[in-house]
Structure 1
Amino acid sequence: MNALMTRRQLLLGLAGAPLAAAFARRAGAAGKIDLKISHQFPGGTLTEGDFRDRLCRKFAAELAQRTGGAVAATVYPGSSLMKTNAQFSAVRKGALDLSLVPISYAGGELPELNIGLMPGVVTSYEQGMAWKRSEVGKYFSDLLADKGVLMVSWIWQAGGVACRSKAIVEPDDARAQKVRGGSREMDMVLKTAGATVLSLPSNEIYAAMQTGALDAAMTSSTSLMSFRLEEVSKQLVTGRGKAYWFMLEPLIMSRAIFERLPKDVQATVMQLGAELETFATEMAKADDQQVAVAYQKAGAQTHDLSEATVRRWQDIARATAWKDFAARNDRCAKLLALAEKTL
């Protein structure tokens, strides 16, 4: 036995052995279950690369192990299976099994989802992860489930800003710059600050900045590195320590597909998804630190935000994006009210 194996790991392995054997027997009788996991981020391995891709691979590997190979999952990185903006709708309709996707990308389809990139509403990882166990998280999960989507892993990421020339630290710095905000609500804040906004997925930012179509882009720390934006940036505003927006990028699953699975497989999927949330949070925090190192090595200047600066951005958001979001429908108003309880 490996000396590094803890007693807890051993007990978990022994407890899971009968379950895996049961799954294997079922697979032999009914056939193997194959799931597809799609995401837009660069591909890697279980141990190297973008942590969101690694999380999907860990999910797939552990799912196969716990079910004795009865359930397999294949990861399709880099939008290789389908286009980025089609993934949420495909999950909702049962045309795709799972996806790890910035939930606000589907805000045009379901406006309530823009709460997942609402500037100033989440200001720390601890607050964001507390949503799952609070009224706002339960309401959000129920809303998604009613639309055919299940939250498997809650994943929050702090955002930063990559800039071709002038750093956008204070709201006034955004004036006359062409900026990618990432959501309708973030775009409203930027417009109020005087920016021109462009809407495009994170895997298209590099080309837009390279050609000058974009001056700056707001995205997660992990994407700031994974998409090599340091190659086209001279300034970086980090999300480490303080941030005025956090992005919800969950691992989601089609409810229709989920409900076709045996009950014990359903339980395994949800348990595994919850276990991977700790990994996601640790990796996201590590990337908030690592992104500054990566950009400095590339010759870019880095800037951190003060509490006062975060409040100035939050004040604009409260007067614009929050107000607009709450007025869209009763569900949006309730989501925002419940989210504000966590501040």
Structure 2
Amino acid sequence: MKKLVLGTIAAAMLATSGLAAEYTLKFSHVVSPNTPKGKAADFFEKRLEELSGGKIDVQVYPSSQLYKDNAVLKALRLNSVQMAAPSFSKFGKIVPNLAIFDLPFLFKDIDHLHRVQDGEVGQALKDKVTAKGIVALDFWDNGFKQLSSSTKALIEPKDAEGQKFRIMSSKVLEAQFHAVNANPQMMPFSEVYSGLQQGVIDGQENTISNIYTKKFHEVQTDLTISNHGYLGYLVVMSKRFWKSLPADLQANVKQAMKEATAKERQFAQELNDSQLEKIKEYAKNTGKLKIHTLTDEQREAWRTKVSKIYPEFYSDRTIGEDLIKKTIATK
């Protein structure tokens, strides 16, 4: 347990009850404890220790204290760490199908997204990850991505023509911007602010929380609430550790994860909502930023334009036709 006071109390309780933790579960993640992922990890710690009656001691290590996301999957395979929650992009080489979440305008809204993740498609994706030697437990939200620019407002697909947009490394995102005759530019996240500020790139796509915390809105003239793509995380566990647990403790892990997932989604929505309000306040107070929200008709125009890229990813070596079509059909 990372909190000394709580740890001392818990240790005292276990000592008086004659129990000691039989398993230690190290949960490594890369963000600060006050983020949705950080708060949900702490909730999971407390809940699993309660459900397991202290048999599992959960130790959460935030802010890359143990591993960065690009090293944690190897550490999970070695059972050097037992749990992590990397972003989908970190699974690109082992399960490219997770790039389904990059497909633009694939999800109608957050409820549709969660029905997909909690249903047949989500299970199929988790099974593919588990088949690679890492147990996939559940999907956690960062949020929907929005578009911004310092060249012109992005209301119709033609508004993106000729603009340079920063993307993370992704064939889907390259295709997305090519579909609207824009120029995708791969760039590390840490360089986006200076790239926007210096005009190396015209615009970017990110969740509201990423835009706000990195102050991208302060170096852009227009922000479009497009909800066109999605960023999220997959919570995964060491297969060796999972197999070492008896059935009752595996059930405890599943229950604690189910509750933590509901909390994390709530935390993520609250954070994106509150930070959008702060961006609106900035826009109102400075007059330097205009915020636009796509109407249903405008969203449909974008969807029609960019959905033509979907068949490019029908191969099972990329995303897979079956997964894409089942996502669209999910009610």
Q: TM-score, normalised by structure 1?
A: 0.78
Q: How does 1:303-314 map to 2 (within 5 A)?
A: 303-314=292-303
* 2:130 equivalent among 129, 134, 145: 145
Specify whether residues 94 and 34 from structure 1 end up closer, same or farther in structure 2 by C-alpha distance, changes over 3 A only. Answer: closer
* Aligned mate of 1:271, from 255, 279, 295: 255
In the alignment, which residue of structure 1 is the partner of 2:7?
Answer: none
Which of 233, 238, 242 does residue 220 from structure 2 map onto?
Answer: 233
Give the aligned residue type for 1:167.
A
SS of 2:20 mapped into structure 1? helix
- Whether the aligned pair in 1 keeps the contact of 2:138 and 2:257 (CA below 8 Å) is yes
Deviation at 1:328, TM superposition (A): 4.7
Instruction: For 1:248-263, list aligned pairs within 5 A.
Output: 248-263=232-247
Q: How does 1:113-128 map to 2 (within 5 A)?
A: 113-128=98-113
Tell me the distance in 2 between the aligned counterparts of 1:104 and 1:172. 28
| Residue of 142, 153, 178 corresponding to 1:167 | 153
Q: Which 10-residue stretch deviates more, 96-105 or 126-135?
A: 96-105
Residue pair 2:29, 2:61 contacting (<8 A) in 1 also? yes
Is the CA contact 2:129–2:135 (under 8 Å) kept in the aligned structure 1? Answer: yes
**For 1:73 and 1:207, how far apart are their aligned partners in 2?**
36
CA 1:201–1:27: 2 relative to 1, 3 Å: farther
The one of 261, 282, 291 aligned to 1:302? 291
Using the TM superposition, give the Cα deviation of residue 275 of structure 1 relative to its aligned residue in structure 2, in angstroms.
0.9
Q: Give 2:245's aligned amino acid.
A: L
Partner Cα distance (1:93, 1:308) in 2? 50
Unaligned runs of at least 5 residues, structure 2? 1-9, 284-288
2:209 pairs with 1:222: yes
Which residue of 60, 70, 85 corresponds with 1:74? 60
Deviation larger for 217-226 or 282-291: 282-291
User: 1:202 deviation in Å?
Assistant: 4.2
Distance in structure 2 (CA, Å) of the matches to 1:289 and 1:199 = 28
Q: Percent identity?
A: 20
Number of residues of Structure 1 aligned to a counterpart in Structure 2: 311
Residues 259 and 173 of structure 1: CA distance in aligned 2, closer, same or farther (over 3 Å):
farther
User: What SS does the corresponding residue of 1:169 show, helix, strand or coil?
Assistant: coil
Letter in 1 for 2:28: I
DSSP-derived class of the 2:29 partner? strand
- Is 2:274 the counterpart of 1:286? no
Q: Deviations over 1:14-52 (max 9, x none)?
A: xxx9xx969x86635x5x51413223x3x14xxxx3222
- The CA distance in 1 between the partners of 2:120 and 2:153, in whole Å, is 37
1:341 is matched with which residue? 329
- Is 1:37–2:25 an aligned residue pair? no
Q: In the alignment, which of 92, 100, 121 is matched to residue 136 of structure 1?
A: 121
Q: Is the 8 A contact 1:224 1:291 kept in 2?
A: no
Tell me if the contact between 1:191 and 1:197 (Cα under 8 Å) persists in the aligned partners: yes
Q: CA deviation at 1:114?
A: 0.4
| Matches of 1:332 and 1:89, distance apart in 2 | 26
Q: Does 2:168 align with 1:177?
A: no
Unpaired segments ≥5 residues, structure 1 = 1-16
